Structure 1
Amino acid sequence: MISLLCSQVLLAQNSIDKKLSIHWQATLIPQYHFKFTSPYQGANSLIPDEAVKTSLTTTFFINYHPFKYTYIVFNPEAAGGKGLSKTLGIAGFPNGEIYRVGNPSPQPYIARLYIEQRFPLPGNKKVITTDKDSAKKTLLFNYVSVLAGKFSITDFFDGSDVSHDPRLQFLNWSLMASGAWDYPANVRGYTMGVVAQAFYNDWKIRSAVTGVPMEANGKELQFKGGDAVGTAIELEKDNVIKKGENLFTNVRLGVFYNRARMGNYETALKKSLNSPDVIATRIYGRSKKGIYGIIDNHFGNILHFVRASYNDGNNETWAFTEIDRSVATGFSFKGNIWKRENDMFGIATVVNGLSGEHRNYLAAGGYGFLIGDGKLNYGTENIVESYYSFNAFKSLYISPDYQFVIHPGYNKDRGPVHIVAIRFHYQL
């Protein structure tokens, strides 16, 4: 309520000062899974019978435009609540608004604080932006952008018009992002670094150098030269196929290379007398590299996406989630079809897998930071998700959500799991 009152005052001020853009959101998600088959469980298993778990986030999006082509973005945020089974047991975790943070009380922190400078390129067109992290101004269409500070790397990379925002679209981790990209971030999903981008007509290219967590899925970030650093490059081409204003295809292709004080699965197996421990094998300079690709198809009121990703899977997962291969596809249907202009219905499926080294480690009784049942009868983790986003009134969206998970944590002996949720999202 305090956040809402503050936002009303700030938004009133925003109407006077065109250099300042202020938005606010709050998202509440109660989630529950029905009891499922579980002949055994380990320290990181999904618990077969538990109560409803609820997540809450509230965020201010503040963008200040002090000089021509200069932007300062500041996002204070508070998040609280708990995920199902302490956010453990499913690699494609079912709630993109929850983190592996133990304190259920809302904790304030700075999500983003960065400065961006844009440099015009020839052949400019101009557009009006309404993005919450950009001041409402007439902006350059063709430009080079350099920004530095704290942000989520997925603000700029790995985007999709259909499946990217868990506050309005699919909730599952492996649908909101490329599951096999172990993208550099702290436990809340943010990092610090530099991003450079170039926009020219339908082409976009991005590169980033960022910090990585000091510990797997840890709170603290570090940058240690070539031994601890995250890097990524992405190429985007809009209108690869275009047959009208609302019929077009956009494509993104990205490569990533991260280095950190990672453990190695094979070394952990060789050293183990009983259960292998990947933590005991950690040294600086180990790497995780891979690739991802996204295709967004716009068919008027029907949107379709395909997303695939891969990493080598030799060393331990360090930041995002324990997925080494992932393929996802799905559709979103705009409410215009049934005369509900601001509603949306989505359905998607994703198949997640592990490298041979990773699955052997878990089968021998090893644990990652997210999954581990003490043993493993391996199978791909298969997930179907469906949601309906109902625009109750101008700023409130209520979304029932259902997910069906086969082989949670890649274990054929456990599950399947039926998960239901209802998302309340309010934005100004």
Structure 2
Amino acid sequence: MPFIHSRARTPGRTSRALGPCRHGLISSSLACAALAAHAEAQEDWNVHAQLTYVSQRKDAVASPYSGLNSLRAGPESSYSLTATAALGLRLGPSTELYVNPEVAQGKPISGLLGLAGFSNGELAKTSGTNPKLYRARLFARHTVDLGGDTVDLPSGANQLAGRTTSDRLVLTAGALSVLDIFDTNSLAHDPRMQFMNWALMTHAAYDYPADSRGYTYGVAAEFITDAWALRAGRFSVPLQPNQLQLDSHLLRHYGDQVELSRDYSIADQAGTARLLVYRVKAAMADYADALAASTGEPSLDVPARRVRSKSGAGVSIEHRVSSQVALFLRALQADGKTETYAFTEADRSFSIGAQWDMSAWGRPHDSTGFGWALNGLSAAHREFLRRGGTTFFLGDGTLRYRGEQDLEWYYRSELSKGFYLTADVQQVHSPGYNADRGPARFYALRLHWEQ
């Protein structure tokens, strides 16, 4: 399965480089001045890098019974390590090429089973305790300036410093993460710097196209103005649910995304609202068909998978309420008919949270956040699990259904320039949607370096 490699400075979205300063989502004038200073000179190439290590443990979980794909009852420890290089090259005045080699290793809690809101967004990219080197991204970006104000773009990972205009068309093609472009909520998006729980990094019910590390390939177009943006893209889906190999037949099997976003201001406080619609077409199992074909424990393999579509729609809002505090909200509803194909097991999801920067306490580069997510399943999905069915992530043998609730708090402190230490606590109620089990508690320390 997938989760992503995303960052606070979203990779494929040059449009937002100074947007948070312009719209007030970054409160520190020193930080904005630094961004502007870095953006003055046009870069022909750049090199950036990151390293993230997460150590996490889970307490024992109340568990009167368990199944093949349950969160384990006993205490567990886990870790993840990822290292990424971001290399950028300007091919022409408006065209850039980026490549990200990445190394990952780790040990997941419970084999990455038994939850919808998994506790570490970095673990999907790891494939064992031996380091694996792979190509995470390889994509080209072309920008067509359409007029308006001049916008300075600072140097960053997957972004060359330069200038563009507030009205522009941005075309992206190649290998990347869908979450580089879509649902880029600046408060709850980056497991290396912000919330780590999957249900707080994007919509839990957003079954976006990705391989088991969270990457895919495809094409996207972004029409951006000073306040509005319209984005659309088509991306490759896995050949099999939550597997590494991608399907190359983009005309037959694919994931389409469309997002409309609007920057706004209320009482001089800035915000952004996004409306997202997605559709996946692939060979998938249908829960109702699987239930009808079995009188005992149903299976997603019976009857055979066939080409179907699944869709969903959601909203995402981030809003600053003061110079130090910003809030976010996400909600998404998917149709819930077919199996989870590329993200996690949720057919509807809702999350809210807040982020504070610590400027008032003399720590302008520190921040803390609190988030709460509620995930749910369709009637057919929960009946499949109640009758003993096993899905890619879930299977307690039976199910007393209740929506899974994920709570998370973190405090991130900058130890030195570009080097951060984060303390993180999570509590999951009804893990795997089972009211008979849990709660599950997780404690983590995260070290992150970037330059």
Give the TM-score category using the shorter length. Answer: over 0.9
Secondary structure of the structure 2 residue equivalent to 1:81: strand
| 1:13 aligned residue | none
Consecutive unaligned residues of structure 1, counting only runs of 5 or more, are 1-15
| 1:179 aligned residue | 204
Secondary structure of the structure 1 residue equivalent to 2:290: helix
Matched, 1:199 2:224: yes
Whether the 8 Å contact between 1:407 and 1:415 is mirrored in structure 2 is yes
Match of 2:409 among 365, 386, 394: 386
Pair 1:323–1:52, CA change in 2 (3 A): same
Match of 2:351 among 325, 328, 344: 328
Whether the 8 Å contact between 1:207 and 1:234 is mirrored in structure 2 is yes
| 2:273 aligned residue | 251
Distance 1:303 1:87 in 2: 31
Whether the 8 Å contact between 1:402 and 1:420 is mirrored in structure 2 is yes
Distance 2:154 2:266 in 1: 22
Consecutive unaligned residues of structure 2, counting only runs of 5 or more, are 1-40
Whether the 8 Å contact between 2:407 and 2:428 is mirrored in structure 1 is yes
| 2:378 aligned residue | 355
Residue identity in the other structure for 1:321? T
| 1:11 aligned residue | none
| 2:314 aligned residue | 292
Runs of 4+ in 1 over 6 A off after TM superposition: none
Whether the 8 Å contact between 2:255 and 2:279 is mirrored in structure 1 is yes
Match of 2:82 among 49, 57, 63: 57
Residue identity in the other structure for 2:345? E
| 2:285 aligned residue | 263
Distance 2:252 2:386 in 1: 29
Task: Give 1:192 shift.
Answer: 0.7
Residue identity in the other structure for 1:258? V
Whether the 8 Å contact between 1:210 and 1:223 is mirrored in structure 2 is no
Pair 1:225–1:97, CA change in 2 (3 A): closer
Whether the 8 Å contact between 1:227 and 1:284 is mirrored in structure 2 is no
Distance 1:135 1:102 in 2: 31
Task: Give 1:150 shift.
Answer: 0.3
Distance 2:283 2:124 in 1: 22
Secondary structure of the structure 2 residue equivalent to 1:122: strand
Select between 143-152 and 117-126 the one with higher mean Cα deviation.
Answer: 117-126
Distance 1:66 1:263 in 2: 44
Distance 2:117 2:380 in 1: 19
RMSD: 1.5
Distance 2:237 2:303 in 1: 18
Task: Give 1:219 shift.
Answer: 0.5
CA displacement, residues 374-416 of structure 1 (integer Å, 9 cap, x when unaligned):
1100000011100000111112111010001100000000001
TM-score, normalized by length of structure 1? 0.93
Secondary structure of the structure 1 residue equivalent to 2:179: helix
| 2:447 aligned residue | 424
CA displacement, residues 342-394 of structure 1 (integer Å, 9 cap, x when unaligned):
00010010000001110000101111111111110000001110000011111
Matched, 1:99 2:124: yes
Number of residues of Structure 1 aligned to a counterpart in Structure 2: 410
Within-5 A mapping of 1:147-226: 147-224=172-249
Return the structure number with greater relative CO, CA threshold 8 A, min gap 6: 2
Whether the 8 Å contact between 2:293 and 2:302 is mirrored in structure 1 is no
